[in-house]
Amino acid sequence: MRESRVIALAGVFQACSQVAAIANEGRGDSTAIESSLASLFRIDSDSAADVFGGLSGIKTGMEVLVENLDSNNRNLVVSQLVVGVLRLERKLSGRNSMLGELRAGIESIQRQVDHLGVAHTSVQARLAELYSQTLSNLRPRIVVHGNPVNLSDPRRVEQIRSLLLAGIRSAVLWRQMGGSQWRLLVRRKEYTMLARGLLARCTLDRG
């Protein structure tokens, strides 16, 4: 269960790190982005790792988690986005109608994913629209800072909203696994140690 919590939290960090990369640099890691977006459609997976298609699918998130929990050089932009996503998920948790709307929306997009793949622009456009129609109505809204050129590009904005939706999905999983912001505060070192172990296992599995 502890490893599952770390994997779910790494999912939040992965999505937020890619939001920050797109907002500031104009692009993120395509593998990490696809893994995060694909997690939206694995609603009934057997394990937290399966949500991301295995440990390799959450490798970037675990690296970012370690960097931000066990370093004086943490990325404040990513940290602020993670806090924003966790807070927004708490607001969502009491709204059963919106949770139902999100699930129905994702199920309707599933058919398009099966046909085009999760990386397709039209799939991400629909995910972004679902985010705008639901989560963007909750307060406080997540504010994304970055290069104005990137944040005025409709395609990048769609990708950012899609990834925020994926971040919320990971935050839901984190809470289902018993995660909380208080637990995160008091167990930073434990989470970092577990993430390092998972990263080592991921490297062994791949090599």
pLDDT, mean of residues 173-201? 85
pLDDT tens, position by position, 137-151: 998 889 999 999 999
pLDDT tens, position by position, 36-72: 999 999 987 778 889 999 999 999 999 999 999 876 7
First to last CA, the chain: 26
The pLDDT, as a whole number, for residue 207 is: 46
Sign, CA torsion 76/77/81/82: negative
Give the Cα separation of 52 and 58 in Å (integer).
6
List the domain range (segments joined by +) for residue 113. Answer: 2-206
The pLDDT-based confidence of 75 (bands split at 50, 70, 90) is confident
The DSSP letter of residue 58 is G
Give the Cα separation of 105 and 132 in Å (integer).
12
Number of domain units in the chain: 1
The DSSP letter of residue 141 is P
Give the Cα separation of 205 and 62 in Å (integer).
15
CATH code for the domain in which residue 48 is found: 1.10.3890.10
3-state DSSP percent of the chain in helix, strand and coil, to 5: 75, 0, 25
